[in-house]
Amino acid sequence: MVLSITEAKIISTTLGGMLYGLSIPMYILTFWILSGPGNARTKRTSYAIMAAGVILAIGSTAQFAVNTARIILGVVVYGPQLKGGADAFLGDVTEPSFIVKSALENLQTLVFDAVVIYRCWKVWNRWWVPAVPALGWAVLLALSIGTNHALFYAQHTGNIFATSTGRWITGVYVTTLIVNLSATGLLALRIYLVHRKSVQYLSDSSLKVTMRIVLESGAIYSIMITCGMITFILRSRGVFIIFDMLCPTTSIAFNLIIVRIGFISDERLIAKFPNLQQGGEIPPSTIRFGRHSEMRTETHRTGLESKSLAIELTRFSDADDVSATDKAGTNSEIGAGTEALSAPHLNS
What are the sequence ranges of the domains in the chain?
5-272, 288-340
Which residue, among 188, 210, 198, 196, has the nearest Cα to 335 in the 3D structure? 198
CB 113 within 8 A of CB 141: no
User: Which of 123-127, 208-212, 244-248, 342-346 ranks highest by mean pLDDT?
Assistant: 244-248
Which residue, among 285, 266, 311, has the nearest Cα to 45 in the 3D structure? 311
Q: What is the pLDDT of residues 18-55, one digit of tens each?
A: 999 999 999 888 888 877 665 445 555 567 788 888 99
Fold of the domain built from segment(s) 5-272: Rhopdopsin 7-helix transmembrane proteins (1.20.1070)
> Exposure string (b/e) for 112-142, b if CB count within 10 Å is 16 or more?
bbbbbbbbbbbbbbeeebbeebbebbebbbe
C-alpha dist (Å) from residue 332 to 5, 15, 169, 172, 323: 65, 54, 53, 48, 10
**Reported pTM:** 0.75
**Neighbouring residues of 44: CB distance < 8 A, sequence distance ≥ 6:** none
Measured from the Cβ of residue 97, the count of other Cβ atoms closer than 10 Å reads 16
Q: Which residue has the higher pLDDT, 166 or 329?
A: 166
SS3 of residue 273 by DSSP: coil
Measured from the Cβ of residue 200, the count of other Cβ atoms closer than 10 Å reads 11
Q: Report how far residue 310's alpha carbon sits from residue 284's, in angstroms, rounded to the nearest whole number.
A: 10
Burial class (CB in 10 A: 0-12, 13-18, 19+), 25: exposed
Give pLDDT, residue 14. Answer: 93
**Neighbouring residues of 337: CB distance < 8 A, sequence distance ≥ 6:** 290, 294, 319
User: Which of 70-74, 217-221, 273-277 ranks highest by mean pLDDT?
Assistant: 70-74
Is the pLDDT at 320 greater than 60? The verdict is no
C-alpha dist (Å) from residue 292 to 15, 99, 202: 46, 45, 23
Q: Which residue has the higher pLDDT, 25 or 289?
A: 25
CB 341 within 8 A of CB 194: no
Which residue, among 55, 1, 71, has the nearest Cα to 23 in the 3D structure? 55
Phi and psi at residue 289, to the nearest 5°:
-145, 150
Q: How confident is the model at residue 333 (pLDDT cuts 50, 70, 90)?
A: very low
In sequence order, which ranges of the chain are alpha helices (DSSP H)?
Answer: 5-34, 40-72, 86-90, 96-124, 131-152, 163-198, 207-233, 239-265, 267-272, 292-302, 309-313, 324-328
Q: Report how far residue 142's alpha carbon sits from residue 137's, in angstroms, rounded to the nearest whole number.
A: 9
Q: Which residue has the higher pLDDT, 184 or 43?
A: 184
Give pLDDT, residue 140. Answer: 95
Measured from the Cβ of residue 39, the count of other Cβ atoms closer than 10 Å reads 12
Give pLDDT, residue 270. Answer: 58
CB 287 within 8 A of CB 334: yes
CB 318 within 8 A of CB 339: yes
Q: What is the pLDDT of residues 84-127, one digit of tens each?
A: 888 888 888 888 999 999 999 999 999 999 998 988 888 888 88
Q: Which residue has the higher pLDDT, 178 or 79?
A: 178
CB 123 within 8 A of CB 313: yes
